[in-house]
Amino acid sequence: MAVTKTVPPEVIAQAVSCGLTLFGENRVQEALPKIERFPQAEWHLIGRLQTNKVRAVVSRFALIHSLDRWKLAAELQERAKQQGQTVRVLVQVNIGREPQKGGVLPEEVPDFLREVAQLSHLRVEGLMAIPPAACDPEEARPYFRAMYQLFRSIDIPGIEMKTLSMGMSADYVVAVEEGANLVRVGSLLFGERS
């Protein structure tokens, strides 16, 4: 997935002309004009989602990567029901147990998934994680490996574990080696953010 945070539309147009079709955005406000300009692309919301922004995202993003709390799940369910939609989501896991990051703690994931599975307008399709920042991609390997083990261990009716989203420009190779099937690449494609 090409991550377009702070990337101007003219650069996204070049990426689309080169054949890229899958894009991720961190912020709803930045994403909406890009989605309107490039409706042929598939857009994912990869950043933390505030409950007051749920109304704007339900029908616009193909997949939300950051379901990390019950209050957000309930709000997504309510808005999706009102709009006659089913929202596809990944549950964000706080694999590094970092207090400044969102995400469900690994040991709480099965119970959280069982609860979310009861929501008729949400469809959980996998997990997402961002390991603690490190200079060496190898430092992320144990976190990616733990995520893959968690991903493989889930067997809950109504939950289809098909996407494991982990790895970014600096560590995506290690993430893929450890089982990721969706990586988020921004700076490698578009250069460092200013």
9-17 and 28-37 helices, crossing angle to 10°:
50
pLDDT digits (tens, 9 = 90+) for 63-90: 999 999 999 999 999 999 999 999 999 9
Neighbouring residues of 130: CB distance < 8 A, sequence distance ≥ 6: 95, 101, 166, 168
The answer, yes or no, to whether residue 193 has pLDDT greater than 80, is no
pLDDT digits (tens, 9 = 90+) for 96-124: 999 999 999 999 999 999 999 999 999 99
The domains of the chain, with CATH numbers, are: 2-190 (3.20.20.10)
pLDDT digits (tens, 9 = 90+) for 124-160: 999 999 999 988 999 999 999 999 999 999 999 989 9
Distance CA 158, CA 11 (A): 39
pLDDT digits (tens, 9 = 90+) for 162-183: 999 999 999 999 999 999 999 9
